[in-house]
Amino acid sequence: MGGYTGPKVKKSKRVRAPISDTSKHHKADLDRGPGVHGFSRRRKLTIYGERLREKQKLAFFYHVSDKQFRRYMKEAKRVRGNTGDKLNELLERRLDNVVRRAGFCRTIWQARQTVVHGHITVNGKKVDRPSYMIKAGDSVGVRGKSEKAVQAMVDSVDAGTIVPAWMTVEGLKCKVDRLPEPDEIFRPFETSMLAVVEFMK
């Protein structure tokens, strides 16, 4: 997943859901499918196929590889409580996702690149790992010499972007007040976490 450089809309068509909350993905003909011929009319998904699609939606939306996804699933199973809710929380706490949710970047791919290039700080220290796990109370900001470049990306973000209730954003600074609740996690598609958990068993 991390090494994929092809057209992103193709992934939205593959799972029949907009994996990015941008107009290009919402306007795509998702019922037709990728490629010249799209989906075969005779093709019907099996239960396995349906569960795989639900898992792929999440993996594509958060831009994580199968190996990373299995690691998050293992951690979600290890802790007490609802496995699906914990998996949701772990994916939301990734640094690249927090940068996207804060409105510093338009897409998860842009957020990942911003982190990798060393533009982002956590509690005042540079962090260049997109998978870095943010904790409650952490402050996410932008390095001084990167502020102009990041501000240009902020200006390109849709005006209707809503900052989640579990974080506070002021300019180019974001404070993670608490960890997200399951019903506070927005994605531009419906997800069956039960199907995802069943697939990963």
* DSSP character at residue 94: B
CATH superfamily of 9-91+188-199: Ribosomal protein S4/S9, N-terminal domain (1.10.1050.10)
**Which tens digits make up the pLDDT trace of 91-144?**
999 999 999 999 999 899 999 999 999 999 999 999 999 999 999 999 999 999
pTM for this predicted structure: 0.87
**Which tens digits make up the pLDDT trace of 32-85?**
666 655 665 556 789 999 999 999 999 999 999 999 999 999 999 998 889 999
CB-side exposure of 32: number of CA atoms within 13 Å? 10
Topology of the domain covering 104-179: 3.10.290
* CA gap 65, 125 in Å, rounded: 26
Where do the structural domains in the chain lie, given as residue ranges? 9-91+188-199, 104-179
- Nearest C-alpha neighbor of 154 from the set 119, 199, 129, 190: 119
**Which tens digits make up the pLDDT trace of 139-183?**
999 999 999 999 999 888 876 678 999 999 999 999 999 999 989
Q: Which pair of tokens denotes residue 169? A: 């954003």
* CA gap 73, 93 in Å, rounded: 14
* CA gap 47, 193 in Å, rounded: 14
